[in-house]
Amino acid sequence: MKDNFIYILFKKRTDNPFLQFFRYIFVGGTSFIIDFCIYLLLINFINLNYLISAAIAFFISVLVNYYLSTSWVFNQDHIENRLIEFNLFILISLIGLVFTEILLYLFVDIFNINYIWSKLIASIIVLFWNFSARRIMFYGK
């Protein structure tokens, strides 16, 4: 029973939005760790502005997210034109980046919230946009 549950949760191809969301949280968590570490590295060691750091870190983590999302979360083996799919994925990511940048600016410069907490809050909010938009893009649902 336990092996079957693990198989369903992690390996079985699925259209179930709850399983996809669970997997997306896992993929998003991995992408977020990459994003957040690069964000902190660029701010603290290279001394880049927090908004520029967020954009650079975001784009690097999007590549990881793309691969894992299309191969594991949304199971896109049937896609015929990967270039169009990738461009749509990037478009959704760019909109997510715009949301992230606006939220960071508001939290840091307007509400005086620490840049680390601001990044965490913005990432959680944008997570819901990214999942919903990607699910609609991949499944039309």
pLDDT at 88: 86
pLDDT at 71: 74
Amino acid identity, residue 2? Answer: K
Give dist(CA 50, CA 41) in Å, integer.
Answer: 11
Q: Where are the alpha helices (DSSP H) in the chain?
A: 2-10, 17-44, 50-68, 82-105, 115-139
Residue 53 pLDDT > 80, yes or no? Answer: yes
pTM, entire model: 0.74
